[in-house]
């Protein structure tokens, strides 16, 4: 990844002092929404667009190439400290967070958030910190709830919040969670984004004061930006919880913003409630498989010892080993049954399950 050491002189037109910026986050199924969104932007669309789309760390990063075929606007992976210019679409590179600062972008390998890098929340949070009421945040199709906390931050710093209509999304979880947890200004199909954004960017910006403290917001931006020592201050963001980080096993601080609850450890990893539950569920499965592996190794060894005793004409010892191997096999099967019935729960699935139960009893 090519990086610039410092911003240096701007070589491109600089964003005007009153221009809005647009930040977009998507995950599973989001590619169709992004295509519809970009395809409808006019060639003279001024507001810069920043996109964080969940992808595998080893992905080839073809999103800019794909979107470039749909628009005459310049689309490219962002470069560290690249100046922010009007009429540009900046895409987070694979395995890197995309952050927005005054006049330029940052491209970092800060800690994963919601188990992703790039993640949506760091982009949204940094934009809200740098540009306050000039930010328009957009969430499109995706699973779980990355971006919800970031959209809440944008709205509470005077910006505008938009989500794709869940009925129009390939995977509706992210838009649905945003509608439930964050104040939303507009909920429309992806095909309506261009016209809506053009209208919003041409409107006069109201003088809205931030409703949240800026120091914690700046700290979280610094954590994503890899500022030395920033993560060690993470516990100041909330109360210590009894939960540990699924990635590094550090203690998690519980952060509450409105109805949004999330968690962060001192190494910088961050989770929404749904993502933490998903991570803990996977961790339980891994540990159960580890326990089952140990049991099955003991079964193999006991049977091997039983065969050895049988060959040495010691039937009592052989029978004892074979019996214990059988008991271990039964315990191993119990663990396997637990793994097979393990369920990955989210707030959405809990709501659906209760809804189904209510319908059955009605």
- Kind and range of the H or E run holding 305: helix 273-311
Distance between CA atoms of residues 37 and 35, nearest Å: 5
Q: Write down the residue that tokens 């199709």 correspond to.
A: 141
Structure tokens at 298: 């003991």
Taking a C-beta distance cutoff of 8 angstroms, is the pair 97, 117 a contact?
yes
**DSSP structure string for 6-56:** S--S--SPPPPTT--EEEEEE-TTHHHHHHHHHHTS-TT--S-EEEEE---
Distance between CA atoms of residues 63 and 12, nearest Å: 23
Structure tokens at 322: 């074979």
CA distances from 80 to 2, 67, 226 (A): 8, 21, 13
Would residue 27 show up in a list of annotated catalytic residues for this protein?
yes
Would residue 290 show up in a list of annotated catalytic residues for this protein?
no
Q: Give the active site residue among 121, 145, 146, 168.
A: 146
Q: Give SS3 for 244.
A: strand
Would residue 58 show up in a list of annotated catalytic residues for this protein?
no
Question: What is the CB neighbour count within 10 angstroms for residue 9?
Answer: 5
Residue closest to 51 by CA, chosen among 70, 72, 37:
37
Q: Give the active site residue among 54, 96, 104, 266.
A: 54
Taking a C-beta distance cutoff of 8 angstroms, is the pair 289, 192 a contact?
no
Distance between CA atoms of residues 152 and 258, nearest Å: 8
Residue closest to 143 by CA, chosen among 108, 185, 112, 178:
178
Residue 280, judged by CB atoms within 10 A of its CB (0-12, 13-18, 19+), counts as middle
Return the axis-axis angle of helices 214-224 and 120-131, rounded to nearest 10°: 130
Distance between CA atoms of residues 278 and 173, nearest Å: 14
The catalytic site residues sit at: 27, 54, 146
């Amino acid at each position: 990844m090519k990086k610039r050491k410092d911003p240096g002189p701007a070589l491109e037109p600089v964003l005007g002092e009153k221009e809005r910026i647009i930040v977009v986050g998507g995950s599973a199924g989001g590619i169709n929404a992004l295509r519809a969104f970009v395809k409808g932007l006019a060639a003279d669309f001024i507001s810069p667009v920043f996109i964080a789309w969940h992808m595998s760390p080893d992905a080839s990063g073809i999103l800019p190439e794909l979107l470039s075929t749909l628009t005459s606007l310049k689309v490219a992976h962002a470069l560290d400290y690249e100046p922010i210019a009007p009429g540009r679409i900046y895409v987070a590179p694979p395995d890197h967070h995309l952050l927005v600062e005054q006049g330029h972008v940052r491209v970092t390998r800060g800690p994963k958030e919601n188990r992703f890098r790039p993640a949506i929340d760091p982009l949204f949070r940094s934009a809200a910190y740098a540009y306050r009421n000039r930010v328009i945040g957009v969430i499109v199709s995706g699973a779980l709830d990355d971006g919800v906390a970031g959209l809440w931050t944008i709205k509470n710093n005077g910006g505008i919040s938009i989500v794709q209509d869940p009925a129009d999304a390939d995977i509706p979880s992210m838009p649905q969670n945003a509608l439930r947890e964050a104040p939303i200004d507009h909920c429309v199909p992806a095909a309506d984004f261009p016209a809506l954004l053009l209208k919003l960017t041409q409107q006069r910006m109201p003088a809205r004061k931030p409703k949240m403290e800026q120091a914690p917001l700046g700290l979280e931006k610094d954590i994503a930006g890899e500022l030395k020592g920033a993560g060690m201050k993470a516990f100041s963001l909330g109360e210590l919880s009894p939960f540990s980080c699924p990635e590094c096993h550090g203690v998690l601080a519980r952060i509450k913003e409105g109805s949004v609850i999330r968690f962060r450890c001192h190494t910088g990893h961050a989770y929404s409630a749904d993502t933490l539950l998903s991570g803990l569920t996977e961790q339980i499965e891994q540990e159960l498989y580890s326990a089952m592996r140990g049991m099955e190794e003991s079964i193999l060894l006991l049977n091997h010892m039983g065969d050895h005793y049988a060959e040495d004409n010691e039937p009592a010892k052989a029978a004892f080993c074979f019996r214990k191997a059988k008991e271990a096999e039964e315990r191993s099967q119990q663990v396997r049954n637990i793994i097979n019935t393990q369920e990955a729960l989210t707030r959405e699935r809990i709501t659906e399950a209760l809804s189904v139960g209510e319908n059955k009893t009605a």
